[in-house]
Amino acid sequence: MKALLCTAWGGPDALAMGELPSPAPGSGEILIGVRACGLNFADTLMIQGKYQERPDFPFSPGLEVSGEVLETGVGVDEFAPGDRVIALCGHGGLAERVVVASGNAVRLPEGMDFVTAAGFAVVYGTAHVGLERRARLQAGEVLLVHGAAGGVGLAAVEVGRRMGATVIATCSSEEKMALAKAHGAQHAINYREENFRDRVKELTDGRGADVIFDPVGGEVFDQSMRCINWEGRILVIGFASGTISELPVNLTLVKNMSVVGVYWGAYRKQNSAVLQQSWQQLLAWLDEGALTPHISATYALAEAPVALTSLMERRATGKVVVTIV
């Protein structure tokens, strides 16, 4: 089968089209004919050897796909060949076929196209599990979302709004601010031009945000600790800035604040029921029109390196999706 291959740690330019043997589903697994693969910042880290998981070479990046079930392994009753699914594969999604554990796949709702589906699970799942399960966001609270026009950030804006929060978005350009507002943020701050910490205090009568969703890290995390409310929660989502902050733990005590880690993908192995429940809630919200996935660009498989570069260069908004067939 055709696949985009990573054969050594490096940037997107080091990836090349190649052939891999078609995988076969083992017990409890399904083989999927991939129709589209959603790209994530994590893919850019994985090909550089900077991600938590470092697969053996050669491998294809791509951790979320949509497609059709081609074959089921022993003991799989919930899927049959021909079913349209979304699946989490860890890596291997930028290929014509991929095998996943059946617990890591869900059926596509009627009317959801493969491109939208391929970009849905990771960002909305992370936003929902992060905000509801980890931060216990309550209606009426103030939610501050950083990198709010990016994949996971834009999803957090929509999910937070649906949960009844007042959403403040931070982004690096006017265009990104407009996008975040169009997806539900009541306020937007350009953190390249304004000190977001002061502005958040201003918008909250000096109290600060109750929950902060931070996929950026570095200086953004450091400043977030200075504009969080009493009993606030900061969700550590990622480090798109490339810097991992040090935490002065005395600050957590002074404000009774919590710094809460979120590794959504870990639920795939630790407790996939959490993902399935979250998925049902998100689909219900999609159905009622509360979620409006934003796919900013689609690329063919051979052009996936260009797509990954757009993520690394901070040009992409919402989701970028690669179509396979």
Ligand X SMILES: NC(=O)c1ccc[n+]([C@@H]2O[C@H](COP(=O)([O-])OP(=O)(O)OC[C@H]3O[C@@H](n4cnc5c(N)ncnc54)[C@H](OP(=O)(O)O)[C@@H]3O)[C@@H](O)[C@H]2O)c1
**Rounded CA gap, 169 and 171, in Å?**
7
Q: Which is nearer to ligand X, 108 or 240 (CB)?
A: 240
At its nearest, how many Å lie between ligand X and the CB of residue 1?
Answer: 26
Q: Is 160 in the site for ligand X (CB under 6 A)?
A: no
Q: Is 144 in the site for ligand X (CB under 6 A)?
A: no
**Rounded CA gap, 229 and 81, in Å?**
51
Among 122, 179, 203, 257, binds ligand X (CB under 6 A): 122
Q: Is 30 in the site for ligand X (CB under 6 A)?
A: no
**Rounded CA gap, 212 and 92, in Å?**
32
Residues 6+ apart with CB under 8 A from 239: 216, 217, 218
Q: Is 238 in the site for ligand X (CB under 6 A)?
A: yes
| Closest to 167 measured CA to CA, from 134, 195, 131, 198 | 131
**Rounded CA gap, 130 and 42, in Å?**
17
Q: Which stretch binds ligand X (CB under 6 A): 13-21, 108-116, 131-139, 144-152?
A: 144-152
At its nearest, how many Å lie between ligand X and the CB of residue 130?
Answer: 7
Q: Is 224 in the site for ligand X (CB under 6 A)?
A: no
**Which residues in 198-217 contact ligand X (CB under 6 A)?**
215-216
Cα 32 versus chain centre, distance: 21
| Closest to 107 measured CA to CA, from 84, 134, 89 | 84
Among 241, 258, 298, 323, binds ligand X (CB under 6 A): 241
**Rounded CA gap, 119 and 158, in Å?**
15
Q: Is 176 in the site for ligand X (CB under 6 A)?
A: yes
Q: Which stretch binds ligand X (CB under 6 A): 16-24, 39-47, 281-289, 290-298?
A: 39-47
Among 18, 68, 103, 172, binds ligand X (CB under 6 A): 172
Q: Which stretch binds ligand X (CB under 6 A): 81-89, 196-204, 224-232, 233-241?
A: 233-241
Q: Which is nearer to ligand X, 76 or 117 (CB)?
A: 117
- Written as one letter, the residue type at 80 is A
Q: Is 40 in the site for ligand X (CB under 6 A)?
A: yes
Q: Which is nearer to ligand X, 200 or 216 (CB)?
A: 216
Among 38, 151, 208, 305, binds ligand X (CB under 6 A): 151
**Rounded CA gap, 137 and 209, in Å?**
11
Q: Which is nearer to ligand X, 30 or 152 (CB)?
A: 152
Instruction: Point out which residues bind ligand X (CB under 6 A).
Output: 40-42, 122, 126, 147, 149-153, 171-172, 176, 215-216, 237-242, 262-265, 311, 314, 316
